[in-house]
Amino acid sequence: MKYLFIVFFISVSFATKAQKYVLLDETISQPAVYTDHLDQMEKYKRFFPVEVKYLPRFLEALQKILNDLNEKKITAVNNYSAGCAHFNGRVFPLASGGRIDYVLTADCEGMKVVMHLCDAKLTNANNAYFIKTWIKYIRSNMKKTQ
């Protein structure tokens, strides 16, 4: 009977469905959470939802933004999409070079979450530091099955 229970438990654990979203903490103070559905409470806890299957594309967009921030002269930026997450960027020209401003928006399951990813009020170096840290945070919280 004991062996039957163990076999049943193992087969059920392999048959479980993978989570649909990863909730990333905007402040990088809490670990990422994997979930099947979104709740309004996550919005108020400052979690940003990303679809798990688009997480590599999301990281790729962050890396491209980081590369743009490290450029000396910035004249234009691209907008990116990763599932229900959208990166909308603008360049503010200054005498010392352009500053980048990105707003990250997720519209998943009827819940809209907005995050100011890069702020043009800060230097590009400060924004690059935050994005580099956020990339490390996301990679360290990714499930090993991806």
Question: What are the tens digits of pLDDT across the range 69-120?
Answer: 998 888 889 999 999 999 999 999 888 788 999 999 999 888 899 999 999 9
Question: Model's pTM, two decimal places?
Answer: 0.81
Task: Please give the C-alpha separations between residue 88 and each of 64, 115, 139, in angstroms, as whole numbers.
Answer: 13, 11, 22
- Token readout for 114 is 């907005």
- The span from the CA of 100 to the CA of 105, in Å, is 16
- The span from the CA of 142 to the CA of 121, in Å, is 31
- The span from the CA of 63 to the CA of 131, in Å, is 8
Question: What are the tens digits of pLDDT across the range 5-35?
Answer: 444 444 444 444 567 999 999 999 999 999 9
What would the mean pLDDT of 118-126 be, rounded to a whole number?
A: 93
- Token readout for 142 is 């990714």
- The span from the CA of 35 to the CA of 32, in Å, is 10
Question: What are the tens digits of pLDDT across the range 42-72?
Answer: 878 889 999 999 999 999 999 999 999 998 8
Nearest alpha-carbon partner for 31 in 143, 116, 117: 143
H or E stretch at 80 = strand 80-82
